[in-house]
Chain A
Amino acid sequence: MAKSKPRVKAPKKAAKGDIVTIKTLISHKMETGLRKDKKTGEIIPRRIINKFVAQFNGKDIFSVDIDPSISANPYFQFKMRAEESGEFAFIWTDDNGEVHTKKSKLKVS
């Protein structure tokens, strides 16, 4: 499978108290474990991103426990109240143990 590539759209600046919107997407096939290989008839093993966590300054702001019903290239949009400057960390965990991380800074004035 092609290497998973995370993408994030988060604001760089915000006024204190603002609600900011964050959009995230990671390229991933999200193999359900229910499909069969058309040639061999064997079941293709499950491999999905099973957890997504968004943190700000080390604290969890939003997370998702993911099951195979989430579409390929899982996309999540969510919000945060901007209270202080700091750094976002976005963490995706693959069934095979791989972890993908992306960071982004936010300046609050």
Chain B
Amino acid sequence: MKSLNRREALVFSAVTGGLLLMTPTGAFANAGDAMKTMEEFTGGKPVGDSKLIALEMPEIAENGNTVPLAISVESPMTPDSYVKRVIIISEGNPRPEVATFNFSPLSGVAEASTRMRLAKTQNVIAIAELSDGSLHMAKRQVKVTIGGCGG
């Protein structure tokens, strides 16, 4: 291969540089995007793993199109002390946001379940915000055999 002269080298770097800029950061959300969504939810406050919140998902999901998910948060659920909302975040789907559950003291217990899509094996995170402003997190890894976001 012949060596590039100055002009060619400039053009070459401009083109590849441009390509790099244009390439989306990956069609799939990475842990970084998930972190951003987490920060938006928590307002940058630190959040640690907590025993108050439980996130139940299967260890292995054969079909990523519909994976059961259940959350429960320990709380008296009275007007003085209740769970305000719980966000579900995926680390490996095209978009990190999955859903936000909004509870009220009328809920009685902070428990909900649904079914979600998983594009590939990944971590799923649930963060609960309580009425006193405290944050509680749970994380689960789910192995996916067939991804569920279509081609």
Contacts and interface: CB of A to CB of B under 8 A. Distances in A.
Given A34-B149, A69-B99, A64 B107 contact: no
Nearest to A18: B108
Nearest to A35: B150
B71 to A, nearest CB: 10
Interface string A47-73: 000000000100111111111111110
A36 interface: yes
B127 to A, nearest CB: 14
Chain A interface mostly helix, strand, loop or mixed?
strand
Contacts of B104: 59-62
A77 interface: yes
Contacts of B109: 19, 79, 81
B88 to A, nearest CB: 8
A74 interface: yes
Interface residues of A, number: 30
Contacts of B140: none
A70 B115 contact: yes
B98 interface: yes
B97 A67 contact: yes
Given A35-B151, A64-B102, A70 B117 contact: yes
Interface of B: 27, 65-67, 70, 77, 88, 90, 93-95, 97-104, 106-109, 111-117, 148-151
Interface of A: 19, 32, 34-36, 38, 56, 59-72, 74-81, 83
